[in-house]
Amino acid sequence: MINTMECALDAQSLISISLRKIHNSRTQRGGIKLHKNLLVSYVLRNARQVYMNEKYAEFYRMQQYEEVMTVCNEIQELNPLDLAKDCAEQSDECCGGGNEPASLCGALLPASHLTAVQPAHIQTPTPCSAPLSLQNEEVCKESDSFYRSCCAEAYPVSNCDFSSSNNMYCNKTTVLDLDTHVVTTVENGYLHQDCCAPLQQCCQGAQNPAKKRKVDFGYYVSEPEEVLDFTPCKRVRLEECPCPYAEQFDTSNISNLISIFGSGFTGLVSKQADFEQALNGQFCSKQALASLGAWTRAIVAF
């Protein structure tokens, strides 16, 4: 884990500074220094890791809070007995039925738990490795609801709308796992991870689903290796996640930025216009992060 306490700057600033250094290195005398830029890319990777972790954690916290609020509102409307029954059915599908649901539920774990099981199946810090959801118009009545996370294009996705109505009526989502390339159709909006945790918290009477979930969690947490057999459905991409190639952002690989140092200008020149837009004035790290994928993709290896 990267110790961020001693650094006066936050991850976002570090990313901006690093990108500025790489940009400046293009014009310095003597040509691009491979060693220095390699080191800068390591800082960039580390900062990005921390940034994504923070965003991820924040997203989860927000999700859980909103779900709690949603379900609490529902509870006020529904008959508690009906709710328990619904919970039982849906949690069967959600958590007991198949492989993915377990991991989805697993994904519902609070961020700290998530950290523990991350190596198993979820490639943190890359919410970039989120499912590519095919746009099933029939699926969600609210069209821009959750899992339309497209990693191939760097367009921002609106934050998942967790209003109660959406929750109820989103029936089906198809997700593509970018690592295993398995397409999975997730039935019923409640299969989305958000359904499990709040139910766990709010369904006092629904012992069954809660237990079942716990079992799954336990199974999930204690045997991370087994989880690999599941198709790990990836998490929703955050709105600012730009990366086009999830697998390439494996933390053990140096980022594509390294390929700058080959022939010098060729790759960079082609994306210069895009990049300089992001660099004008203040280095807006958000913009930089958004354009990062496109920029690195364009770099021509030496």
Partner 1 sequence: MAGVGGGGNDVQWCFSQVKGAIDDDVAEADIISTVEFSHSGELLATGDKGGRVVIFQQAPENKSQPQCRSEYNVYSTFQSHEPEFDYLKSLEIEEKINKIRWLPQKNAAQFLLSTNDKTIKLWKISERDKRPEGYNLKEEDGRYRDPSTVTTLRVPVFRPMDLMVEASPRRVFANAHTYHINSISVNSDYETYLSTDDLRINLWHLEITDRSFNIVDIKPANMEELTEVITAAEFHPNQCNTFVYSSSKGTIRLCDMRASALCDKHSKLFEEPEDPSNRSFFSEIISSISDVKFSHSGRYLMTRDYLSVKIWDLNMENRPVETYQVHEYLRSKLCSLYENDCIFDKFECCWNGNDNVVMTGSYNNFFRMFDRAQRRDVTLEASRESSRPRSVLKPRKVCAGGKRKKDEISVDSLDFNKKILHTAWHPQDNIIAVATTNNLYIFQDKPN
List interacting residues with partner 1 (CB under 8 A): 1-4, 6-9, 11, 14, 17, 21, 29-31, 33-36, 38-39, 42-43, 46-47, 50, 248, 253-254, 256, 258-259, 261-265, 301-302
Nearer to partner 1, 174 or 263 (CB): 263
Q: Which is closer to partner 1, CB of 42 or CB of 208?
A: 42
Provide the minimum distance between the beta carbon of 269 and partner 1 in the complex, in angstroms, as a whole number.
Answer: 10
Q: How far is the CB of 115 from partner 1 (least distance, A)?
A: 15
Nearer to partner 1, 33 or 61 (CB): 33
Which of 209, 267 has the CB closer to partner 1? 267
Q: Which runs of consecutive H residues, i.e. helices, occur in the chain?
A: 11-25, 34-77, 80-91, 99-108, 111-121, 164-169, 196-202, 207-222, 224-227, 266-270, 272-279, 285-298
Residue 18 beta carbon to partner 1: minimum distance, rounded to whole angstroms: 9
Q: What is the DSSP letter of 300?
A: P
100: three-class secondary structure by DSSP = helix
Q: What are 12's two structure tokens?
A: 């976002």
**Both structure tokens of 95:** 């958590």
Q: What is the closest distance, in whole angstroms, from the C-beta atom of residue 126 to partner 1 in the complex? A: 16
Residue 1 CB, shortest distance to partner 1, in Å, is: 7
Q: Tell me how far, at minimum, the Cβ of 245 lies from partner 1, in Å.
A: 10
Contact 247, 253 (CB under 8 A): no
Structure tokens at 72: 């609490």
Closer Cβ to partner 1, 36 or 172, answer by number: 36
Strand partners, 239: none
Least separation in angstroms between residue 6's CB and partner 1 is: 5
Chain-centre distance for alpha carbon 187: 21
Q: Which three-class secondary structure state does DSSP give residue 76?
A: helix
Nearer to partner 1, 19 or 258 (CB): 258
**SS3 per residue for 209-276:** HHHHHHHHHHHHHHCHHHHCCCCCCCCCCCCCCCCCCHHHHCCCCCCHHHHHHCCCCHHHHHCHHHHH
Beta carbon nearer to partner 1, 220 or 261? 261
Return the half-sphere exposure (C-beta side, CA atoms, 13 A cut-off) of residue 93.
16
| Closer of 101 and 293 to partner 1 (Cβ) | 293
CB of 22 to partner 1, least distance (A): 13
Query: Would you state the torsion angle of the CA atoms of residues 284, 42, 250, 129, taken in this order, to the nearest 10 degrees?
Result: -10
* In 122-205, alpha helices (H): 164-169, 196-202
